[in-house]
Each structure stands twice: as C-alpha cells, then as structure tokens.
Structure 1
C-alpha cells in the first residue's frame, strides 16, 4: 500500500495535526514557511518541526518545499550563495532523518488560479483557472509589455469585454488571487513588485531556464545522493507558459530531459496528476508506468478542462472531485501499485511511495460555518479525497 500523507502548513494551519490523524493519514508533508527563501534550514529548526509532528503520533514524511530562490532560476545576483544554502539544508534534513524533498522551478509565480471559490455543480466550491480572466489581468490590469503579442485581436476583445463586466471588487479580487500568493506559494507580490519580478526574466527564455535548472540539479543532486535524500520536482501549474514566462516541467519529454540531465537515484519526480492532467497531450497512466521508477512522491488530484467557447480562451480548468474529471485515477493508481510491487521484487530500498490528496473542495461545515480555511486545503474536502483514494487503492490491491 502507498503511504498516505497530508499537507500541513505548520502551527498556524487551521487544520490541526489531530485532525490529520482522524482523517487517517500517517505521514505529514510540511515545510518551514517562516524561513525566508534562500536561507539555510538549520538542524534545530528542522528538529523542532519534526518533534511537533511526532508528538502528535505522525511522521514528517516529505518536505514540500525548500523554495528555490528566484536568483537561482535566473542565475543572477547571489545565486551561488543560495545554491550552497540549498545544499546545506538538504544535508541538515538528512541529519534529522528526513529523506524526501519536493520542490519546483516555476518562475515568479508558484501555482496559479483566478478563482478560489468557483461554485461546483454540487454546491461545493473549488479552485479554477480561467484563461479569459487571466488574459484580462495581464492585458488590462497588469498591462504587461508584450502581452498583446500572445493574443489575437478577437481574444483581446473577449478579455476586454470580460473586464468591463467586472466591478472594482471583482477586479481587486482577481488581482489579489493571481499575485498575492496561494498556500505553499513561495512569494507574494504587489502589482508594482510583480512587474519588477517579471523584468528579471527578460533575458531568460525556455532554453535558458532549462539550462539553469539542469545546472542547479548537477549541483544539488550529488549532495542529496550522498546523504540519502530523494528529490522530487513538482510539474508546472498550469503546465504551459503564462505571462510570457517559460515553463519547463510540463510534459513527459520535459521530465525525461530533467532526469537525463543529472542521472542519479536521488533525482526524481513528484507525479502530480492534476498539473500534468491539465494538458490533454499528457498520457497520465502511461507516464506513471514509464516514469514509475523515478517517482518519489505523488499528488493525487483531478482537474477538469473547460473547452474553449465563443468568447472563452483555451486553457481553462477547475479542480474536480478526486475520482472524477479528466484524470483516469484508477489507471494511475494501478500503475503506482504495480511500481511499488516491482520495487519490492527488485529489493529496492525506496519502497515507500508517499501520496497525498490535493486541492479538495470547500464543502459542508467548511463552507457554511464561516471558519477560516486555506484555499484548496480544507479539512473536509481533502478528507473526502483521501477516503476515496484509500478505497480505490484497497480495492485495486485486493483484486490483483
């Protein structure tokens, strides 16, 4: 059976560790969000968080994430210092007995949405990325130089019409949702600082960002391998370029190139079915089968693509229930269970394959009570997801 884990954002998370235990998870996915990006995670800080988790009867299973500083991604400024700090944090985590680190290499923005409370057909709410709303933001709110080159005249008109239908509250909400940072995001911006952050990538295109990622991996992977830490890169979310910024971990080809750039048991993947699943050209079951030996961590969630319409741009999607949407979750789960069995037969030491439910809907008491919840990380929505995934895993395991 795969290890059942739960993302916990630390002592200020409205979902407590006791809640997590009651949900049935055994492992915690957490990070030291209070430490500034680029700074070293000290052994004392790591042990303090680990002790808190273990006192609740749980295990700190995965670090998500040690943020990769923007100057590493652009290979500018103090990037060399930040790389050395990253290495030291990996070593310190290993010293504390933590062996799996998830990270991402998305420029400027981490995962991005345009609506945090999109109403689903059943009345629950969830996260949505609306490509037309995003176009309205970058064309007319941010007024990003070069944005018009990415949209046809007709698409620009659709975005303008949508913006004209929004009041000031809606415009402010859209802006805040995109740039203010979501749970687990590495940065939060004002509009002015956001524009400044984008200018740092004026000379960093697709090839440059790929090479910067591969050089970074060649620096940190040997350190991780030497101390027994497994690295797991999270795919881009959304898995296509936005804001004129390149995205370099969006497809199976991207994942294979990354693995080849630093061949090592330590260099692996976070297989996020929601992120990869937004692209119809990603064969998720086939990817799980073919890339299985290099999957170190799994995010199980489903997304549902919205077809382009008469005034709607292509690329929109929302978070679906875990066993619905565009992801063949049963096929993916079967492939992951087969991979774990293969590892066992091969005598591999890394039998542990942690997964977590991701981006649950806001529903029931989380929706009606007025209590504070983190977008995408409500207790009840993820509880439903974990229960469904646990049942799927048990059913498939017993039917083999």
Structure 2
C-alpha cells in the first residue's frame, strides 16, 4: 500500500515536516480555502503541490473536492456547479493527481457526540452515542416536527440523559455534533443548521440518490477519460441523522450506485470505520464484490459498545476483522497490480499532545501509532503469503 497521511493545509497545527517523519511519501489534502462550488485552478493546485514537494512528499489524493449543496438538492445553480466540478477534475488531472475523494452527505460531513471520550489508559477517542444525539436533536436543536421521528420511550430516555448533564456539558454536546467540516474550526449555529435542514424537507433517500447518480453521470465520464478515479466516502455514521437522507450506507447502496454509473472512475473510498459502524455491513464481502471500484483506503476500527454506541478503537483491535480485511486488500492489489493509497483514519489523542490545537481524530501520535501498526500488519501478511 502507498502510505499517506491527511494534512489540512498551511493552517494545520501539524506540519508537513512532522508528517514526513512518520515515514509516509504521500499527502492527502484539499484546497479548503476555496469556496465550495468554485473552480480549483491549475495555479492554486500547483502552489499547494510545490509546498508539499518542498517537504519531500507528493500530493497523492484529493480529500475532498466537496460537492455543493445545490448539486445534492438539484436546485439553484447546480448545473453551473457541476460544470465547475468538471473543470476542477480536468485541472487536477493536468497536475498529475489521480484520486479524488468526495462525499454526498447532506449538510454535515460526519457526526460524533463526543470528541474526547476517555479510554482506560487516559487516551481520548471519538464516540457516537445515539441517546446523546437524540437529546441534542429533541431538546437542544429542537428542529421542526422532530418529535415525529422518535417514540415516546426514546424521548423519555433522551430526556433522562439530558437531565444528568450540566449546562457546560450540554453546550459541549451541541458544539460536538455541529462541528464544521474538516479543516474548519467554525461550528454551525442553531439558526444556520435549522435553515439548512429546511431545504431538505422534501428530499428523501430516493431523491438524493437520483441526484447523486445524475451528478456522477456528468462527472464520472470526464474523470474516466482523464484517468482520474472518483472515490465516494461512505456516510458517517451509516444511518440518518437529523432526518436527513443517506444513500451510501451499505453494500446495497453501493450496488445501486455502481450499476447506475458502470464505469471504473465511479469508485469507492473504502472506509472500514464508516461502514463498520453498522454491524450488518460485511466489510470483507464489500472487497469481494466491489474490489475493482476501491480507489482509496481509510483503515480504522470501531468498537460497538451497544446498539446505541460506537467509538473509535485501536486500529488493530475492534469489531472489524482488520487482519482479514488487510489480507483481502493485499490479494486485491496483487490481482489489480496496483498499490492503493491508504491512510490511517482517525486516531487516539494521547496525553503527550493533549491540550494542543488539533482537529478531533487527527492527532499526530495517534495516527502514527495506527500507521505503524497497519504497516506492520501488511508486512507480516506479505511475508506469510510468500
């Protein structure tokens, strides 16, 4: 595998020098400063490439080239934004970058209720608690008609949970759920999120999926012609939040998507954490059935403490069979004669870095630990398979 690590750009508290010392050759990043929907120019891409090259690495994967909300809703200036997306793909290809990651999650990029769950050893992890989220949705955000989405029992359990929280803990829960997109330190306000949600009132899973397929029918042929791979990131978490539609949750969703746009450029960012948060997803079978569509790897693990709670775990220890997954990926790469780019996804916040300004899940030590473990697992399996 080509080992990479994510970098959030010049404003990232973690430097490229820090990342290079982890032993990676590739950087996964994006032009976060460019407004969503605008064209990524060749000049802007090359400036960022030069910064990365001067640090001794290459910009390997775009993560992400974001999709404008108008495209997801198929309204407003969505046709213009699709054309801009095509131009950005062409410019990215001209600069020699071959993998573009994106997602089609409405409004929120990913959701966790806790960003600093304390493990027994004192390290901290990301966690999603459905009861905590229900309390946020029902009693903090109070979105219109929210009560219709919950049973009376769920409402009472959520209220009981909230009654145990201090005002500071309630404020932290609100902040955690509505954290801005990766690379941003700006949170959504209550007013902003309610306004955005109103725009999705009449968009269900089928409508969102149709809009995704239309988008891909337009941009994937451009990518295919240029030798660029589009890798969609699965929904995180892989179920509806805030009543929003979800269309990349499981193998059935992938089947519909890949059959609707049956060209190789229409591919997958294989995220074991996002898919693995749903116990009904068979991660090994996804490789078996859609291995030719896997263009980028996010390898991490999760522990499902109960039906209502999942948390990030150590990369090698959790509910996902990471050793079997790695073995299948090695066989897949040998079959395809390719070295897929891989990054350790998320990591614990260790005490040595606690208190430093870092994006949740993206501490350096935690990701380095995960990278080292995954690298060792891959090398051990390769030796065993000789």
TM-score by length of 2: 0.97
TM-aligned CA deviation for residue 67 of structure 1: 0.6
**What is residue 112 of structure 1 aligned with on the other side?**
111
**What is residue 140 of structure 1 aligned with on the other side?**
139
CA contact 1:7–1:30 (8 Å) conserved in 2: yes
Secondary structure, counterpart of 1:366 in structure 2: coil
Matched, 1:94 2:81: no
**What is residue 61 of structure 1 aligned with on the other side?**
60
How far, CA to CA, are the matches of 2:148 and 2:120 in structure 1? 36
CA contact 1:101–1:230 (8 Å) conserved in 2: yes
TM-aligned CA deviation for residue 59 of structure 1: 0.9
CA contact 1:181–1:188 (8 Å) conserved in 2: yes
Segments of 5+ residues of structure 2 without an aligned counterpart are: none
**What is residue 399 of structure 1 aligned with on the other side?**
384
Matched, 1:21 2:14: no
How far, CA to CA, are the matches of 1:185 and 1:303 in structure 2? 24
How far, CA to CA, are the matches of 1:331 and 1:60 in structure 2? 29
Residues paired across the two proteins, number: 385
Q: Write the mapping of 1:175-324 to structure 2, written as runs, cut at 5 A.
A: 175-184=174-183, 188-308=187-307, 314=308, 316-324=309-317
CA contact 2:240–2:246 (8 Å) conserved in 1: yes
Secondary structure, counterpart of 1:376 in structure 2: coil
CA offsets, 1:128-150, max 9 Å, x none?
11101100011011111232222
Q: Deviating runs (4+, > 3 A) in structure 1?
A: 184-188
TM-aligned CA deviation for residue 184 of structure 1: 4.5
Secondary structure, counterpart of 1:196 in structure 2: helix
**What is residue 362 of structure 1 aligned with on the other side?**
349
How far, CA to CA, are the matches of 1:240 and 1:99 in structure 2? 30
TM-aligned CA deviation for residue 188 of structure 1: 4.4
Q: CA RMSD in A?
A: 1.3
CA offsets, 1:92-114, max 9 Å, x none?
00011111000000011111111
**What is residue 35 of structure 1 aligned with on the other side?**
34
TM-aligned CA deviation for residue 293 of structure 1: 1.1
Give the direction of change, closer, same or farther, for the CA distance of 1:220–1:251 in structure 2 (3 Å limit): same
Q: Write the mapping of 1:155-166 to structure 2, written as runs, cut at 5 A.
A: 155-166=154-165
TM-aligned CA deviation for residue 333 of structure 1: 0.5
Matched, 1:149 2:148: yes
**What is residue 311 of structure 1 aligned with on the other side?**
none
Segments of 5+ residues of structure 1 without an aligned counterpart are: 309-313, 345-350
CA contact 1:109–1:185 (8 Å) conserved in 2: no
TM-aligned CA deviation for residue 244 of structure 1: 0.7
**What is residue 2 of structure 2 aligned with on the other side?**
3
CA contact 1:67–1:186 (8 Å) conserved in 2: no
Moved more, 154-163 or 141-150: 141-150
